[in-house]
């Protein structure tokens, strides 16, 4: 999937000359945490978000620096902080270095950018003009939509067994002697695992396969150093 597949297209934006009060009111009214800033030519020039309103003189949260630190800061940084804390327009507080993507950007790349830069939203551009925005909510909606089960006409028992076997055997954590039995969509997993994480991963591989109704864990744990052997929690519970 690409950015344009999940982005919000009805873009709510402000200009650099929008007042801070109006920007704050828009964010509250629309229940959003950030706004792209677009100039008169229609180009993206910044982003204003909730964090840009944290340090404001109106609410007494302006930064207070020790005298020695002010000396090392220099007048330039001090002046910039003054503007940010007391400015009346969006251009005074907005983030100008914007992380953005093109509309055909792959979602994997987009999410990497969000994680790397610790941001909640990414404007989507066509050239230099914004055409949408992707937020964490959009990604959540995409997951919910794709997880909605769609019947698979090929999901008979044999296809299910093959798909689970292929998915697990292609990993580094695959259980030793891994076997899958399927009957009427009910899956039974057999083999030896050396970690609890491998057990859970094998179960997830089965649960996420189309057509699976239930998954039963018969994977035994074995310590590769001592040979200590324990049956699966499900089998121990069944044994009483």
Structure confidence by residue, pLDDT tens digits, 193-222:
999 999 999 999 999 898 999 999 999 999
Tokens of 204: 């997830």
Q: pLDDT tens digits, residue range 101-157?
A: 999 999 999 999 999 999 989 999 998 889 999 999 999 988 887 765 566 777 899
Fold category of 3-146 in CATH: CBS-domain (3.10.580)
> Could you tell me the residue ranges of all domains in the chain?
3-146, 157-239
Mean pLDDT over all residues of the chain?
A: 88
For residue 143, the model assigns a pLDDT of 85
Q: 68: pLDDT confidence band, cut at 50, 70 and 90? A: very low
Does position 240 have pLDDT exceeding 80, yes or no? Answer: no
Q: Residue written as tokens 């804390």?
A: 85
Kindly report the backbone phi and psi dihedral angles of residue 60, in degrees, each rounded to the nearest multiple of 5, phi listed first. Answer: 70, 30
CA angle, residues 239, 218, 181, in degrees to nearest 5: 125
Does position 159 have pLDDT exceeding 80, yes or no? Answer: yes
For residue 58, the model assigns a pLDDT of 76
For residue 147, the model assigns a pLDDT of 64
For residue 75, the model assigns a pLDDT of 64
Q: pLDDT tens digits, residue range 77-94?
A: 667 778 778 888 999 999
Q: pLDDT tens digits, residue range 3-23?
A: 999 999 988 999 999 999 999
pTM over 0.75: no
Element holding 113 (H helix, E strand): helix 107-117
- The larger pLDDT score, comparing residue 72 to residue 96, is at 96
CATH of domain 157-239: 3.30.1340.30
For residue 74, the model assigns a pLDDT of 60
- The larger pLDDT score, comparing residue 101 to residue 33, is at 101
Task: Give, in order, the Cα–Cα distances in Å from 8 to each of 11, 47, 73.
Answer: 7, 16, 40
Q: What is the mean pLDDT of residues 171-176?
A: 95
């Amino acid at each position: 999937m690409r950015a344009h597949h999940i982005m919000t297209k009805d873009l709510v934006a402000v200009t650099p000359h929008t007042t801070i009060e109006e920007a704050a009111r828009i964010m509250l009214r629309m229940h959003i945490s950030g706004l792209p800033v677009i100039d008169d030519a229609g180009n993206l020039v910044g982003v204003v978000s909730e964090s840009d309103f944290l340090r404001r003189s109106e609410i007494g949260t302006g930064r207070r620096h020790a005298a020695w630190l002010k000396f090392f800061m220099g007048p330039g940084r001090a002046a910039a902080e003054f503007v940010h804390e007391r400015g009346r327009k969006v251009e005074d507080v907005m983030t100008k270095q914007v992380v953005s993507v093109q509309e055909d950007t792959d979602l994997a790349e987009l999410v990497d950018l969000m994680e790397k830069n610790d941001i909640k939203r990414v404007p989507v551009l066509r050239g230099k003009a914004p055409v949408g925005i992707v937020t964490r909510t959009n990604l959540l909606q995409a997951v919910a939509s794709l997880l909605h089960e769609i019947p698979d006409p090929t999901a008979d028992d044999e296809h299910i067994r093959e798909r689970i076997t292929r998915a697990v055997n292609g990993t580094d954590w695959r259980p030793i002697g891994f076997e899958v039995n399927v009957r009427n969509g009910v899956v039974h997993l057999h083999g030896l695992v050396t970690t609890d994480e491998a057990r859970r991963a094998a179960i997830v591989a089965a649960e996420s396969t189309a057509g699976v109704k239930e998954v039963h864990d018969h994977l035994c744990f074995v310590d590769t150093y001592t040979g200590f052997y324990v049956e699966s929690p499900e089998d121990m519970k069944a044994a009483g």
